């Protein structure tokens, strides 16, 4: 079974631009969660989508948004990039029911200059 796939692996953007990150979950998984990982803050939860609906949201500004498609693939968008948005963005999938663990992709490394 293929794992969680995130594209692109690396991105370099300029402050003020916007960016879209993509995530393909494990086949059959209906839940996709997004996390931001930085050395100082660790893993911080952005949001979770389940069956195309945002089910939970972390404490990030409205510049961070996401969506999920009918095939469970998900995208995350960050508008008006700031230097502090430089981080590893991780996508994780799970069946979304029961007590299943999260399975992570290898992330997108975003650098904002």
Give the binding site for another protein (CB under 8 A): 4, 6, 31, 33, 42-43, 45, 48, 50, 55-56, 90, 94, 96, 99, 101-107, 109
Q: Which is nearer to another protein, 62 or 99 (CB)?
A: 99
Give the DSSP per-residue string, 42-60: EEEEEEEEETTEEEEE-S-
Q: Which is nearer to another protein, 21 or 90 (CB)?
A: 90
Separation of alpha carbons 90 and 69, rounded Å: 18
Least distance (Å) from another protein to the CB of residue 105? 5
Q: Which is nearer to another protein, 42 or 84 (CB)?
A: 42
Least distance (Å) from another protein to the CB of residue 16? 27
Separation of alpha carbons 40 and 80, rounded Å: 22
Contact predicate 34/94, CB 8 Å = no
Q: Which is nearer to another protein, 18 or 106 (CB)?
A: 106
Tokens (6 digits) for 40: 């100082």
């Amino acid at each position: 079974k293929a794992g969680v796939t995130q594209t692109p692996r690396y991105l370099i953007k300029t402050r003020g631009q916007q960016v879209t990150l993509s995530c393909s979950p494990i086949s059959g998984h209906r839940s996709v969660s997004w996390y931001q990982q930085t050395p100082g803050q660790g893993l911080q939860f952005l949001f979770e989508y389940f069956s195309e609906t945002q089910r939970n949201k972390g404490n990030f500004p409205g510049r961070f948004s996401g969506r999920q498609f009918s095939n469970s693939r998900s995208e995350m968008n960050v508008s008006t990039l700031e230097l502090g948005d430089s981080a590893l963005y991780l996508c994780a999938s799970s069946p979304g029911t029961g007590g299943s663990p999260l399975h992570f992709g290898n992330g997108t490394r975003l650098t904002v200059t």
